[in-house]
Amino acid sequence: MKTKTTLLLELWIESRTRFSNQLEHISEQDLKKKLGNAPNSVGFLIRHIGEVELLFAKNVFGDASIKISAETIKAQHDSGEWTDLEALKKFVSESFSKLKFIVEQQKEDDWESSITTKEFGTKTKAEAFGRIISHTAYHAGQLAIIKKYGS
């Protein structure tokens, strides 16, 4: 029988393929694409996904070793600076690895413990983890639409 940690990790990793599979087909030219007057580019969204993964590892799961300045969250709109594809891929690879590592450390009872953040209030760790799963899938959908229809 699988543990809660194993099951939740499997769920997250599978869901994240909606994002990670797209990275292999994104070009440097795609990074600047936006959809109409929408505020965010492909590059911005990739960076944002990585920043939020790191914030979850730090603030939800308690990884004090993570130092993150969430530039996309501070700015709340695209500044046009997220145009280095290799740097972005490296960033989200590292954010994935760090979040995965700290989640793997969770014990069965940890998933039922409560955490409080200013972004979404008080939730169990399991509920909070649902937020990162839906967050990445939501933005992965945006990426696909912007890549296909944006300019």
What domains does the chain contain, in order, with CATH numbers? 4-149 (1.20.120.450)
DSSP bridge partners of 116 = 122
pLDDT tens digits for 98-150? 999 999 999 999 999 999 988 889 999 999 999 999 999 999 999 999 999 99
Give the residue among 8, 7, 10, 17 at the shortest CA–CA distance from 92.
17
The Cα 87–Cα 67 span in angstroms is: 17
* pLDDT tens-place string over residues 34-91: 999 888 999 999 999 999 999 999 999 999 999 998 999 998 889 889 999 999 999 9
Model confidence, pTM: 0.95
Nearest to 53 by CA among 92, 101, 9: 92
Helices (H), the chain: 4-23, 42-55, 71-75, 85-104, 125-149
Instruction: Give the pLDDT score at 127.
Output: 96
